């Protein structure tokens, strides 16, 4: 595409358009497998700090702080910022102000603000509050599904089917998540085939992108390569994302492995917000700053301004009265 900037090439490439417009001729998307050794030129970073991050912080954050955080992140160049979750405030008090948050943020035109909607009720509330993208969360582990959302994987899929059906009608894109993709705090090992089944179902149901989550951060480049080898046989690379937790310090190595296998969407959380609820005191989400540092060092474009992300990280850490989990932030500010 000649002199078109890389992010634009990415947006208009067949890889990106096809999942949203499945009627594009198949011949256009055939043979577009990533060459080995080749990293993507552009990686989309999905910022989950305001939702996944804050949800796993002990301190309840006032609405205006959440709004300020999202507004700051909106100016960094990030193209997707997970804003909040339309879940029961009884279960997730941190997200009780979901409507106020969604209505209160200053939306940047190029930025998407997906919100979690575990069921049809949540979806309706989200749409009423102005949501233009939603996300659904399934699990590759039966036990985790039952413990986390009180139903089996199958039952959760039925709930999501309702959401997806309604979302399609309302022309609202849906992102799917698969948790426990590399291990479960209850079941232990999770077979790649189980993850593939769930990812494929979500994709077939209409999710434009499936984010594979290493929920307890136990994965290593070895298990990541095995997982992706299995999933890529059923779901195209450009419909996949990785959501790595850094609980065992493996996140960046796992992300690098995913990039080498053709994945070009990475979830991360500003300042590494969000500890691990299964290992007290341990870290959880990988920090956006550290991911960006690696991507930029690899010459991969993201469109994101690292310095501005660090400012947002600094802001939210001060509000939470906690130290950043980002090593880049620690190194650069010397605090």
Which range of residues in 79-87, 125-133, 285-293, 314-322 is near other proteins by CB under 8 A?
Answer: 285-293
Site string for other proteins, 63-102 (x = CB under 8 A): ----------------------------------------
- Helix residue ranges per DSSP H, the chain: 6-12, 14-20, 26-29, 54-55, 63-74, 98-104, 120-128, 142-149, 153-169, 192-205, 221-231, 251-260, 288-297, 306-320, 327-333
52 CB-side CA count, 13 A: 30
- Kindly tell me which residue out of 19, 192, 217, 313 binds other proteins, with binding defined by CB under 8 A: 217
Q: DSSP states of 280-302 as a string? A: TT---BPBHHHHHHHHHHTT-B-
> Taking CB under 8 A as the rule, does residue 58 contact other proteins?
no
The nearer residue to other proteins, 119 or 196, going by C-beta atoms, is 196
Q: Percentage helix, strand, coil, to 5, in the chain? A: 45, 15, 40
Which range of residues in 11-19, 105-113, 152-160, 254-262 is near other proteins by CB under 8 A?
Answer: 254-262
Q: Residue 193 in contact with residue 159, Cβ under 8 Å?
A: no
Q: Residue 211 in contact with residue 243, Cβ under 8 Å?
A: yes
- Kindly tell me which residue out of 183, 206, 274, 313 binds other proteins, with binding defined by CB under 8 A: 183
Nearest CA-CA partner of 53 in 199, 220, 214, 245: 245
- Kindly tell me which residue out of 14, 92, 166, 253 binds other proteins, with binding defined by CB under 8 A: 253
- Please compute Rg for the chain using Cα positions: 18
For residue 56, count other CB atoms closer than 10 A to its CB. 16
- Kindly tell me which residue out of 287, 288, 302, 304 binds other proteins, with binding defined by CB under 8 A: 287
Would you give the end-to-end CA distance of the chain in angstroms? 44
Q: Least CB distance from residue 184 to other proteins, whole Å?
A: 8
- Contacting other proteins within 263-282 (CB under 8 A): 276, 278-282
Site string for other proteins, 220-249 (x = CB under 8 A): xxxx-xx-------------------xxxx
Q: Least CB distance from residue 225 to other proteins, whole Å?
A: 5
Site string for other proteins, 13-52 (x = CB under 8 A): -----------------------xx---------------
Catalytic residue annotation:
276
Binding site for other proteins (CB under 8 A): 36-37, 183-186, 188-189, 216-223, 225-226, 246-250, 252-253, 255-257, 260-261, 276, 278-283, 287, 290, 293-294, 296-299, 326-328, 330-332, 334-335
């Amino acid at each position: 595409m000649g002199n078109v900037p890389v992010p634009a090439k990415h947006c208009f490439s067949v890889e990106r358009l096809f999942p949203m417009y499945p009627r594009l001729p198949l011949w256009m998307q055939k043979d577009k497998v990533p060459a080995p050794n080749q990293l993507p030129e552009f990686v989309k970073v999905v910022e989950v700090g305001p939702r996944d991050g804050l949800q796993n912080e002990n301190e309840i954050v006032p609405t205006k702080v959440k709004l300020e955080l999202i507004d700051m992140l909106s100016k960094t160049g990030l193209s997707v910022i997970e804003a909040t979750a339309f879940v029961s405030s009884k279960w997730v008090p941190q997200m009780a102000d979901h409507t106020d948050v969604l209505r209160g943020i200053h939306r940047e035109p190029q930025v998407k603000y997906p919100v979690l909607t575990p069921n049809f009720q949540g979806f309706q509330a989200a749409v009423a509050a102005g949501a233009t993208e939603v996300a659904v969360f399934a699990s590759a582990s039966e036990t985790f599904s039952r413990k986390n959302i009180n139903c089996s994987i199958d039952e959760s899929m039925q709930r999501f089917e309702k959401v997806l059906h309604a979302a399609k009608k309302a022309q609202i894109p849906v992102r799917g998540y698969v948790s426990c993709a590399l291990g479960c705090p209850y079941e232990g090992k999770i077979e790649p085939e189980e993850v593939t089944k769930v990812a494929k179902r979500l994709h077939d149901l209409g999710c434009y992108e499936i984010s594979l989550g290493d929920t307890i951060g136990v994965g290593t480049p070895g298990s990541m390569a095995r997982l992706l080898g299995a999933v890529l046989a059923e779901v195209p690379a450009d419909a996949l994302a990785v959501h790595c937790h850094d609980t065992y310090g493996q996140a960046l190595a796992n992300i690098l492995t995913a990039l080498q296998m053709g994945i070009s969407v990475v979830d991360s959380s500003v300042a590494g917000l969000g500890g691990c609820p299964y290992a007290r005191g341990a870290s959880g989400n990988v920090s956006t700053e550290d991911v960006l540092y690696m991507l930029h060092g690899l010459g991969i474009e993201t469109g994101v301004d690292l310095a501005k992300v660090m400012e947002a990280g600094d802001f939210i850490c001060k509000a939470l009265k906690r130290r950043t989990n980002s090593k880049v932030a620690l190194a650069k500010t010397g605090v």
